[in-house]
Amino acid sequence: MSKSVKRKPARVGSKVVKMPKKATRNELPTKVKTARVKSTKPKPPPKSKASAKAKKPTAPRRAASKKRKPKAKVKPPSFAKLAPIEAPPPSAAPMSAAPPSLPSVALVEEPFDAETEVHDTQFYLHRWGRIGLRDRAGMHDDFGYDPVWDKRVGPVLNLIYDRYFRVSVDGAEHLPPGGRCLLVANHSGQPPWDGLMLRMAVRRETQRARDLRWLIEDFVVHFPYVGMLATRLGAVRACQENAEKLLDRGELVAVFPEGIKGVGKLYKERYRLQRFGRGGFVKLAIRTRTPIIPVAIVGAEEMNPLLFRIEGASKVLGIPFFPITPGFPLLGPVGLMPAPTKWKISFGEPIDFGTYGNEVIDDDVAIGRLSERVRSTIQSMLDRSVAERQSVFFG
């Protein structure tokens, strides 16, 4: 059995083909005896001929005996041993460059999106604001008064003063030609036109056409469009600091001590002065040594009489009360247009509190007594002017 069988070479045509020798059991190599375990991995799908041709032959794998050497670990440098970083000189590197000892960080700028910029509201506000203030950036004062705007709307205000309200002035000789002075007037009207018409009367009746700065309530300042227009025409937010600054400049300042209570008077309470607060205008006059001129304005109570006021719903709108007049809110915004009543503005004799010292400012009783003196003077002037007129619309 151990003898090998010799096979004769087969002849295929003219060529002789040698048949392989059959190995015996003892001649088998030892490596073949170990059986191989078939892998359980799923076979990949057959590839097409085109993809097989396109794929480049890979390099042969390295021998298993050659193992890769592990990379040496690099310890991070301790910040305590680093030398202090010195700022580069201004001529050596630009300001945006990083210090040489630190790794440079690439500054990535956001791309400019033209479509987003054009559709943004702030884009137009910025552009229009710069164009509008291009020629008068330094012409308005600290409180927002714009003389260019005042000159532009001057013809319209003159028409309202002369033709619409037909204002008549009495006692203009009591207005000082120069220097500071504090005008104290009654407050009324829906909306309150009294401050603007009082300013027009002072400008026309004084020799030097003096400007008047009147104080307005906070809700008027923050009201859309109205507060901006009033501020550009000379109105100032009502507070002691603003009034004192204006008086230190030697200007005429008008205050309305009734405040919101004067504007919110019903028609049946017309020309009845409300309480003058805590006498802040008296303290201001004593502290700045400024004379007071009482002013009585007749005609503003009937231009848009207030029938009712709703105070509960006013918090949503940001106003002290919601007015109910013969035209508003029935006719909408048109209902707030004032009626063409005949106005009369009377200036009384100056009241000087210069004899009182600063110690009186802390005395609430004395301040209340002086405030009541001014209030009674204005009330008597109102009663006299109302009694003299014969008609609300014709005077």
The CATH code of the domain that includes 253 is 3.40.1130.10
Give the closest residue to 150 by CA, choosing from 188, 196, 101.
196
For the record, the structure tokens of 268 come out as 């049946």
CB 238 within 8 A of CB 217: yes
Q: Is residue 171 part of a domain?
A: yes
Instruction: Per-residue pLDDT tens, the chain, 395 aa: give them.
Output: 444 445 555 555 555 555 555 545 554 444 444 445 455 555 555 555 545 444 454 544 554 444 555 555 555 555 444 455 555 555 444 444 444 444 444 444 455 565 565 555 565 555 555 554 455 545 678 888 999 999 999 999 999 999 999 999 999 999 999 999 999 999 988 788 999 999 999 999 998 889 999 999 888 888 888 888 999 999 999 999 999 999 999 999 999 999 888 888 999 999 999 989 889 999 999 999 999 999 999 999 999 999 998 887 666 777 788 889 998 988 888 888 999 999 999 999 999 998 898 889 999 999 999 999 999 999 999 999 999 999 999 98
Determine the Cα–Cα distance for residues 346 and 214; give it in Å rounded to an integer.
17
Give the DSSP letter string of 363-376: -HHHHHHHHHHHHH
Burial 134-146 (b: 16+ CB within 10 A, else e): eeeeeebeeebbb
Q: How many domains does the chain have?
A: 1
CB 281 within 8 A of CB 373: no
Q: Is residue 262 part of a domain?
A: yes
Range of the domain at 356: 147-303+338-388
**Preceding peptide of 100 cis, ω within 30°:** no
What are the distances in angstroms from CA 209 to CA 182, 252, 342?
A: 17, 12, 23
Alpha helices by DSSP H, the chain: 49-54, 114-119, 121-132, 147-152, 154-159, 194-205, 218-221, 226-232, 240-248, 260-263, 280-288, 314-317, 364-388
Q: Is residue 296 part of a domain?
A: yes
Determine the Cα–Cα distance for residues 133 and 271; give it in Å rounded to an integer.
42
Q: Is residue 283 part of a domain?
A: yes
Q: Is residue 23 part of a domain?
A: no
Q: Is residue 184 part of a domain?
A: yes
For the record, the structure tokens of 177 come out as 């030609």
Q: Is residue 363 part of a domain?
A: yes
For the record, the structure tokens of 154 come out as 């001057």
Q: Is residue 90 part of a domain?
A: no
